[in-house]
C-alpha cells in the first residue's frame, strides 16, 4: 500500500525542517555572538562551551589591559585587527566602551592582546563549524 508521508513526523521530514531557511544564518550568528550558530542548530552543550570559552578569553584579555586594534598602520596591526574582528559584537562592544585603547607597557598586557586576537580566531573557527553542521558536512 502506497501513501504520502508529507507532513508526518518522519526522520526525513524532521531533517528537512532543520535544513530549511537561510544557509548562512548559523555562520553569521556564530560570528556575531559566540556560540549562537550552535544554539540555532540546537547543539546546546557545544554552543555553551564555545560561548563560555570565547567570552572568557576575550574578557580576560580585556582584564589584562590587552589592546583592541582599531586601525591598520603596519602589517602586524592589520593581522591583529583582522583577528579582533572575528569577535563580532564583542569587538564592537569593546570599542564602544573604549576598552583596550591604551595599551599598558607590561608583559601581562601583551598576553591580553594575544588573548583577544585568539578569541576572535577561535570564534571564526566555531562559526565555520556551525556552518558545516548546517550544510551537513559535519554531523
Interface contacts to another protein, rule CB under 8 A: 46, 49-50, 53-54, 56-57, 60, 63-65, 104, 107-108, 111, 114-115, 118-119, 122, 125-126, 128-129, 138-139
Q: Let me know: does 25 contact 39? Beta carbons within 8 Å.
A: no
Nearer Cβ to another protein (28/118): 118
Smallest distance from the beta carbon of 64 to another protein, in angstroms? 5
Residue reference for cell 548562512: 24
Nearer Cβ to another protein (6/102): 102
Smallest distance from the beta carbon of 4 to another protein, in angstroms? 34
Report which of 133, 118, 138 is spatially closest to residue 19, judged by C-alpha positions: 133
Smallest distance from the beta carbon of 7 to another protein, in angstroms? 31
Report which of 84, 92, 89 is spatially closest to residue 67, judged by C-alpha positions: 84
Nearer Cβ to another protein (33/54): 54
Nearer Cβ to another protein (69/116): 116
- Nearest-10 Cα torsion for 120, 126, 51, 117: -10
Rounded CA gap, 26 and 20, in Å?
12
Q: Let me know: does 41 contact 131? Beta carbons within 8 Å.
A: no
Smallest distance from the beta carbon of 14 to another protein, in angstroms? 20
Amino acid at each position: 500500500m502506497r501513501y504520502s508521508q508529507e507532513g508526518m513526523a518522519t526522520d526525513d521530514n524532521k531533517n528537512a525542517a532543520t535544513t530549511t531557511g537561510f544557509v548562512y544564518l548559523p555562520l553569521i550568528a556564530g560570528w556575531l555572538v559566540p556560540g549562537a550558530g550552535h544554539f540555532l542548530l540546537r547543539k546546546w552543550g557545544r554552543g555553551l562551551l564555545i560561548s563560555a570559552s570565547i567570552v572568557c578569553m576575550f574578557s580576560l584579555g580585556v582584564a589584562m589591559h590587552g589592546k583592541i586594534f582599531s586601525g591598520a598602520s603596519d602589517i602586524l596591526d592589520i593581522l591583529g585587527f583582522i583577528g579582533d574582528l572575528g569577535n563580532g559584537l564583542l569587538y564592537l562592544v569593546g570599542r564602544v566602551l573604549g576598552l583596550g585603547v591604551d595599551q599598558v607597557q607590561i608583559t601581562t598586557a601583551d598576553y591580553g592582546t594575544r588573548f583577544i586576537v585568539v578569541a576572535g580566531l577561535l570564534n571564526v573557527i566555531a562559526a565555520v563549524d556551525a556552518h558545516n553542521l548546517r550544510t551537513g558536512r559535519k554531523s
